[in-house]
Chain A
């Protein structure tokens, strides 16, 4: 029997009043791939992330995480998701370790098991030596890396990141993008929302979202065709200067 996709979104729509934020969105993520959810600001990426993490629910469409329907078995589905929100979610005045422990406990992990998982997750992001530091003392890039490590503590099958490089300098942005590509290479399924095409490698999967609709899902090379990806993206979405950043 073949395993279900790591994440399957089928015919999902959501409206804020009269405004349709998502319109019949469907895509599936193959396991162990880095998939970019590429769309200009206002495309509906954050709304989709709220639905994927069940901060919002909709009656239209279904979302499955590793075969678990998010509406019918939310706890089983949420347990298989690691999330890095666009807005940092950190307790600034406590240590990295304490932040990690709090998160682990929310997933039911405590004691020696939690410590081992936290140390392993910090190791994956080269953050182990900063475990004792107060979060406030970390720079933006390290804080982000800590959040990514935190999202891995409970060994999720899918890692969701909502524009995780917003506000970071170029070096930190590049380092974090590389780290997460490495995670995908190790077998983790990644959904990375962005409007910056330079964060996407040619072999990555891309879902292009524009005005709440999926315009295309294919590999970055296929989406680009015989021109740079940025040109293809601008052509599809009608121009967006921020994408050049």
Chain B
């Protein structure tokens, strides 16, 4: 068991170092949600009226509403970034080094997932800190309760990234997948608008949002930030994590997946 943890530790440290060395990545990870928070939310503040919906107990401004969605967005982008780095690893060969280690393959891939989650946690907490400086703060214990929620949502989005990386043959194909995954997942969710608001324009859109796992990741984060438990969102996120991870394992199975197609 010690050997397994040694491997986990090394994989997480390697990913963290890559993240720290790439200042542009950290900067863009911070700037993206801040632009949404400061520019987009300010513009929409007047246009969007929000009623009191759980977990909020008073009227809230739009900036307050979208903070959990932006935390989710950070993790969504991070999951895809990890996926991109996996494809890069496959092209550069370091994936081979990882997969020929004498540890079970599922554990090695899980370590990769955990490494991505660790990096995303740093980003989300940095963002929450900056949001607090802008006056958008949460209940004190919310910052604690959101930790396990962020780990779970990070795992789910990372597992989705892992799954995508197992289906992509070349780095060049990645941009298209980003467009087909990130944007629909983000916009067809409760990150920017509550589902009842979506239902005002289209029931179908609302239904699509309701089955989007990202919606549930955002709701899990939102409820946790306000010290409230959301079992339904938790169930969705856990199920999503397990399904995506199992499918990714099939993709990385030496008898069926990736390496065979690559030849």
Contact B101 A107 (CB under 8 A): yes
Which 9 pairs from chain A and chain B are nearest by CB?
A108-B3, A105-B10, A106-B101, A79-B102, A78-B102, A89-B93, A87-B93, A75-B102, A89-B97
Contact A55 B254 (CB under 8 A): yes
* B21 adjacent to chain A (CB < 8 Å): yes
Closest residue on chain B to residue A105 by CB atoms: B10
Question: Known contacts being A102-B14, A105-B6, A105-B9, is A16 close to B263, with CB within 8 Å?
Answer: yes
Contact A91 B94 (CB under 8 A): yes
Q: Mark A47-85, 1 if CB is under 8 A from B, else 0.
A: 100100111110000000000000000111011010101
9 more CB-based (< 8 A) A-B contacts, given A87-B93, A105-B10, A110-B6: A50-B259, A54-B254, A78-B101, A79-B102, A90-B94, A93-B21, A101-B10, A106-B98, A110-B10
Contact A88 B100 (CB under 8 A): no
- B-chain residues with CB within 8 Å of residue A50 when the two chains form the complex: 259
Closest residue on chain B to residue A50 by CB atoms: B259
- B-chain residues with CB within 8 Å of residue A41 when the two chains form the complex: none
Select which of A94, A102, A108 is within 8 A of B2 by beta carbon: A108
Closest residue on chain A to residue B8 by CB atoms: A105
* A127 adjacent to chain B (CB < 8 Å): no
Contact A89 B7 (CB under 8 A): no
A21, B263: Cα distance in complex, Å = 10
A13, B106: Cα distance in complex, Å = 26
> What is A's interface to B at a CB cutoff of 8 Å?
16, 21, 47, 50, 53-57, 74-76, 78-79, 81, 83, 85, 87-91, 93-94, 98, 101-103, 105-110
- Could you write out 20 A-B pairs with CB less than 8 Å apart? A16-B260, A54-B254, A75-B102, A76-B102, A78-B100, A78-B102, A79-B102, A85-B93, A87-B92, A87-B93, A94-B17, A103-B97, A105-B6, A105-B9, A106-B98, A107-B3, A108-B4, A108-B102, A110-B6, A110-B10
> What is B's interface to A at a CB cutoff of 8 Å?
2-4, 6-7, 9-11, 14, 17-18, 21, 92-94, 96-104, 108, 254-255, 259-260, 263
- B-chain residues with CB within 8 Å of residue A57 when the two chains form the complex: 254-255
Contact A106 B7 (CB under 8 A): yes
Closest residue on chain B to residue A74 by CB atoms: B102
Contact A55 B259 (CB under 8 A): yes
- B-chain residues with CB within 8 Å of residue A74 when the two chains form the complex: 102
- B-chain residues with CB within 8 Å of residue A81 when the two chains form the complex: 100
Select which of B14, B97, B102, B260 is within 8 A of A56 by beta carbon: B260
Select which of A56, A83, A89, A105 is within 8 A of B94 by beta carbon: A89
Rounded to whole Å, the gap between the CB of B103 and the closest CB of chain A is 7
- B-chain residues with CB within 8 Å of residue A106 when the two chains form the complex: 7, 10-11, 97-98, 101, 103, 108
A105, B99: Cα distance in complex, Å = 13
Rounded to whole Å, the gap between the CB of A93 and the closest CB of chain B is 6
A56, B254: Cα distance in complex, Å = 5
Rounded to whole Å, the gap between the CB of A191 and the closest CB of chain B is 14
- A-chain residues with CB within 8 Å of residue B98 when the two chains form the complex: 106
A110, B10: Cα distance in complex, Å = 9
- B-chain residues with CB within 8 Å of residue A107 when the two chains form the complex: 3, 101-102
Contact A108 B6 (CB under 8 A): yes
A107, B255: Cα distance in complex, Å = 23
Rounded to whole Å, the gap between the CB of A161 and the closest CB of chain B is 13
A71, B96: Cα distance in complex, Å = 18
Select which of B10, B21, B99 is within 8 A of A102 by beta carbon: B10
A110, B2: Cα distance in complex, Å = 10
- B-chain residues with CB within 8 Å of residue A54 when the two chains form the complex: 99-100, 254
Rounded to whole Å, the gap between the CB of A226 and the closest CB of chain B is 39
A89, B254: Cα distance in complex, Å = 19
- A-chain residues with CB within 8 Å of residue B99 when the two chains form the complex: 54-55
Rounded to whole Å, the gap between the CB of A129 and the closest CB of chain B is 23
Contact A91 B14 (CB under 8 A): yes
Closest residue on chain B to residue A58 by CB atoms: B255
- A-chain residues with CB within 8 Å of residue B7 when the two chains form the complex: 105-106, 108
A93, B259: Cα distance in complex, Å = 26
Rounded to whole Å, the gap between the CB of A90 and the closest CB of chain B is 8
Contact A47 B263 (CB under 8 A): yes
A49, B181: Cα distance in complex, Å = 35
Closest residue on chain B to residue A154 by CB atoms: B102
Contact B103 A89 (CB under 8 A): no
